[in-house]
Structure 1
């Protein structure tokens, strides 16, 4: 491999790490470590599957399918691909992830330092900066990979490394949590990185194309190796944060996610530790927000065939995100759960089916029918949440295997795909 390609992989990998590492990625690992104590490795394993492996697989799936998420979805049905893409972009963009970033900056980075700060002005300033940095689509990966990612990793090292060598011995009994692996698996959903990966893949592929890696083989090599580098960085950072949380001498029952990070930082930096957490939160949120804004605006420009230009899309997305961010994190989480319960299983089924069978099964029907069945099953989870007094939806869910783990869609999806393939017989390779 030549030096130029190595540099491209390095910068794109660093850019992808900065894109993925948002507010949830900073807050969740240490807190999960605190909750599971000496059993943190099982929770870390589950978390790694949904917060590291699944997002990287999303990158792979888009890369082998084409240049966009719609190319991946078109393996099942073109119209369905655009519908799923739109729902995905709305979730990961202006409706959930972006406003959550702005709200997190206010509540975790600014409020502990300036108690009288107003969320309106914090969100306006934050999304104003995001808007300005997102205007040039071609410069996004360069800005994130060469500037923001090294700074972010430096401050993460300041937080993690002292704890690895000077961590205190835990004298508290391990927290008893059943299904520790599943807890980590489920909490990994909260990072929303699987959905984000489908958008980030577009930016990553575009970055590879700008470096003249347009041949399919070269493009896939650069994208895959960049994603692996980002995954290694995430694995090391998450592992360090899990370890710090597991060895923190605080009461798990009375500690919040943000207060735990501040406690860890003040152990080694005194009262200045709060500023370290503030810097980390701002960096984590702004890098992810820039990438999400750029990716979402690029999608809507293609969806509307240029009627909504990229710049207009950036402005619209940041304005909507600002308004929703002012409602606060709790308000966002309330309506986010239903959307995520629907789109996450469908997205995972699409990614895994294309990666496992995309080369051998060309017919659209197995993918399409399996996605429809998964959508129906996922809708039951949504309806059960919307109508808690209606026992029918809950009873149907409880009849399905793995429902207690929110994985009721797994067996129906597998059976549907297998049965459809057998039914098609020799027509599997006909598009």
Structure 2
């Protein structure tokens, strides 16, 4: 591999790490480590599957399918692909991830230092900066990969490394959480990185194309290796945050996701730790918000065939996010859970089925039918969350294998795909229509 290609992979990998590492990526690992204590490695393993491995597979799936998420979804049905992409963009854009970034900046970065600060003005200033930085789509990977990514990684090292030595002297109590692996697996949904990866892949592929890697093999190599580099960075950072959370001493009645980070920083870094967390949260939220805003605006421009321009999309997305950010971090996570329980399994099934069988099974029907079945089962989970007193929904769900682990969709998806393939017989390799 030549030096130029290695530099491009490093630069895009650092940009992707900055895109992925947002508010949830900073808040959740430490909190999960705190909850599971001595058994944190089991939870970390489950978390890594949905928060690291799955996002990398999402990037790879888009790269081998084309240039956009809709190229991937077209393996099942083009109209369905646009519908799924639309829901994904809403989740990782103005409905959940973006407002969560603004709310996290206020609650974690600003409020501990300025208790009298008003969330409205903090969110307005934050999203004003995001809007300004997102206006030029072409230089986003540059500023993230060359400036914000390395700075973010440096401050994370300053937070984590001291705790690796100090925390080693703390005796850990046993955890009270059962099914720790599956708790980590399910909580990895909250990072929303699989959904974001499908959109970030577009920015990554665009960055590779601008560097001259337009041939399909070169593009896939650069994009996939950049994603792997980003995954290694996330693995190290998540492991460090899990460790810090597991070894911190704090009163569980006074700890929230946001306050735990501040507590960790002050315990390991002294009184200046609060400023370290403030800088980290602002950097993490800003980099992710810029990428999400750009990706969402780019998608809406394509969806409307240019009727909603990129600049107009940026303005619309940031305005909606500003309004929802006032709800607060815990409020956003609460209403996000139902949406993520629905969209995550469908997206994972699409990614895995295309990666495993995309070259050998060209017929759209196995993919489409499997996604519909997964969608129906996931919606039952949503109904259980919405109507906890209605036993009929719980009874249906409990009949399915792995329901106690929130993985009730796995076996039905596998069986549906296999049965559909057998039913099609010789028509398995019937060429699908081209997406465009």
Q: CA deviation at 1:225?
A: 0.1
Residue 394 of structure 1: how far off its partner (Å): 1.3
Match of 1:153 in 2: 153
Matching residue of 1:31:
31
Question: 1:346-367, CA deviations, whole angstroms, 9 ceiling, x for partnerless residues?
Answer: 0000000000000110000000
In structure 1, the residue matched to 2:111 is 111
Structure-1 separation of matches of 2:35 and 2:382: 28
Deviation for aligned residue 1:206: 0.5
Structure 1 segment 5-16 matched on structure 2, within 5 A: 5-16=5-16
* Pair 1:225-2:225 in alignment: yes
Range that drifts further, 6-15 or 162-171: 162-171
Structure 1 segments unaligned to the other structure (5+ residues): none
Alignment partner, residue 123 of structure 2: 123
Aligned-pair distance for 1:247? 1.7
Cα deviation, residue 9, structure 1: 0.3
1:167 aligns with 2:167: yes
Counterparts of residues 169-208 of structure 1 (less than 5 Å) = 169-208=169-208
The answer on whether the counterparts of 1:35 and 1:252 sit within 8 Å (CA) in structure 2 is no
Within 5 Å, which residues of 2 pair with 1:261-410? 261-410=261-410
Q: Match of 1:54?
A: 54
Q: Distance in 2 between matches of 1:351 and 1:339?
A: 18
| Mapped partners of 2:347, 2:89: distance in 1 | 12
Deviation at 1:176, TM superposition (A): 2.2
Question: CA separation in 2, counterparts of 1:32 and 1:85?
Answer: 29
Q: In structure 1, what is the Cα distance between the partners aligned to 2:284 and 2:296? A: 18
Kept after mapping to 2: 8 A contact 1:9/1:225: yes
Distance apart, 1:183 and its partner CA? 1.1
1:95-151 Cα deviation digits (max 9, x unpaired): 111001101111111000000000110000000000000000000100100000011
Alignment partners' CA distance in 2, 1:185 and 1:92:
19
Instruction: Check the 8 A contact 2:166/2:268 in 1, yes or no.
Output: no
Structure 2, unmatched stretches of 5+, are 432-436
Cα deviation, residue 171, structure 1: 2.9
Question: What's the CA shift string for 1:9-49, capped at 9, x where partnerless?
Answer: 00100000000001111111112112111211111100100
State how far apart, in whole Å, the 2-side matches of 1:109 and 1:44 are.
25
- Secondary structure (helix, strand or coil) at the match of 2:187 reads helix
Q: Is the 8 A contact 2:162 2:269 kept in 1?
A: no
Q: Deviations over 1:166-215 (max 9, x none)?
A: 33522342222111111111111111111001000010000001111010
What is the match of residue 74 of structure 1? 74
Report the more deviating stretch, 381-390 or 26-35.
381-390
Match of 1:418 in 2: 418
Aligned alpha-carbon RMSD (Å): 1.1
Q: Aligned partners of 1:405 and 1:45: how far apart in 2?
A: 15
Contact 2:172–2:246 under 8 Å retained in 1: no
Distance 1:339 1:404 in 2: 19
Scaled by the length of structure 1, the TM-score of the pair is 0.98
Distance 2:46 2:428 in 1: 34
Between the two proteins, the alignment pairs up a number of residues equal to 431
Verify the 8 A CA contact 2:108 2:262 in the aligned structure 1.
Answer: no
Tell me the distance in 2 between the aligned counterparts of 1:172 and 1:252. 14
Q: Distance in 1 between matches of 2:39 and 2:330?
A: 29
Which runs of structure 2 are paired with 1:207-218 in the superposition (5 Å)? 207-218=207-218
CA–CA separation in structure 2 for the residues paired with 1:45 and 1:377: 25
Deviation at 1:252, TM superposition (A): 4.0
